[in-house]
A = this chain, B = another copy of it.
Amino acid sequence: MGRTRVRLKDVAEATGYSVNTVSLVLRGSSRLPLKTRELILKEAERQNYVPNQLARSLILQSTKMVGLVLTDIMNPTITKTARSIELDLAAKGYGVMFASSDNELANEKRALNHLQSSQVDGILIYPTNRSEISHIQNIAKSGYPILMLSDIPDANLDVVAIDDIKGGNIAVSHLIEQGHKQITVLDGAKDLGNSDKYDGAVAAVKAAGLPDSAIKIVDPEGHAAIHGFAAMQKAWASTPRPTAIFASTDSLAIGAARWCRENNLNIPQDVALVGFDNTEAAEFCSTPLTTINYASEDVSKHAVERILSRIEADNATEDTVITLIKPNLVTRESS
């Protein structure tokens, strides 16, 4: 292999033209006579010529690729956003190079390194850990266009993200409006320094004039439905019992709903339930889930626009921009 790959030189030798001429033709130059062009194009086709982007990018100092670091490729919300970003970038002539951190800092560092050494023109990242972002800041400082898809205050980095505080606030305000006075939040992101959804929830409780004891938190210690299942059991075992649950992801909510069914609790009569993300599963689970919509397309649109402006303006050191997208409530049967 490798040596069997067709190069410009091969097409040049076969047609008798120089490498330069072949290159010109294949890039669609119109200043060559039609005859030459046809001859060369035909030969390239015949030999199945595929341009070598490596060589091309090396010269052009641009790969027309944007790197995207995901925390969890199995999370449908993140995947959906990734897909949206891929489409939006493609529309602008850019490709995307994926990498996943699996929520491990070491993986994240490795991924960033790999993307940089692959010479992507810019990087979009769902950061793993709020308290450890110096490596990201270093990349930004070195003049590399980079943007975070999750809000980390005072990071001094570009951000385009869903406003989780607002989201948590909306979810719990909704529950309070329904008359609930004892609410448990299922959220485990705190260990990564992120308690935005919970903070928003607490703010809603305060704003409603309820006592601090009106809200509690249970750490599901994981992201999958099975963790929501276990967390719900814990939540239900505590005194006083909650009358409503706010799960920080739909996946946790679905697990919680399952525990309720198995224990003969009716949703929303015995416990109300609100999720976060608005995944397909939320719509089709046993009791269609009230949830906070994660507007993937909006995140994508703004993120792509921003990173491309940094890339194409040669990253002229403008100020950092924080774009927070306000999420909305989708009311269904679970609350």
Contacts and interface: CB of A to CB of B under 8 A. Distances in A.
Interface in A281-305: 281, 283-286
Nearest to A138: B48
A264 interface: no
A28 interface: no
A108 to B, nearest CB: 14
Given A143-B1, A258-B284, A119 B74 contact: no
A224 interface: yes
Given A1-B145, A225-B283, A117 B79 contact: no
A201 B226 CA distance: 32
Contact of A80 (B74, B118, B225): B74
Contacts of A58: 52, 54-55, 58
A224 B257 CA distance: 22
Nearest to A257: B284
A62 to B, nearest CB: 7
A311 to B, nearest CB: 7
A254 B284 contact: yes
Contacts of A268: none
Copies of this polypeptide in the complex: 2
A285 B286 contact: yes
Contacts of A117: 50-53
Contacts of A63: 54
Contact of A61 (B3, B114, B280): B3
Interface stretch (A94-102, A159-167, A177-185): A94-102
B95 A53 contact: no
Nearest to A53: B117
Contacts of A225: 280, 283-284
Q: Of A50, A224, A261, A314, which is in contact with the most chain B CB atoms at under 10 Å from its CB?
A: A50
A138 B45 CA distance: 12
A140 to B, nearest CB: 12
A143 B6 CA distance: 11
A261 B118 CA distance: 51
A285 B283 contact: no
A29 interface: no
A145 B4 CA distance: 12
7 nearest CB pairs, A to B: A286-B286, A2-B61, A225-B284, A53-B117, A4-B143, A50-B116, A54-B58
Given A1-B311, A254-B281, 16 more contacts: A1-B143, A1-B145, A2-B61, A50-B117, A54-B57, A73-B83, A74-B80, A74-B83, A83-B100, A86-B100, A95-B114, A97-B97, A98-B98, A254-B284, A255-B284, A281-B285
29 contacts: A1-B61, A1-B143, A1-B145, A1-B311, A1-B314, A2-B61, A2-B62, A3-B61, A4-B142, A51-B117, A53-B118, A53-B119, A54-B57, A54-B58, A54-B119, A58-B58, A74-B76, A74-B79, A76-B76, A86-B100, A95-B114, A97-B97, A229-B284, A254-B281, A255-B284, A261-B286, A281-B281, A285-B286, A286-B286
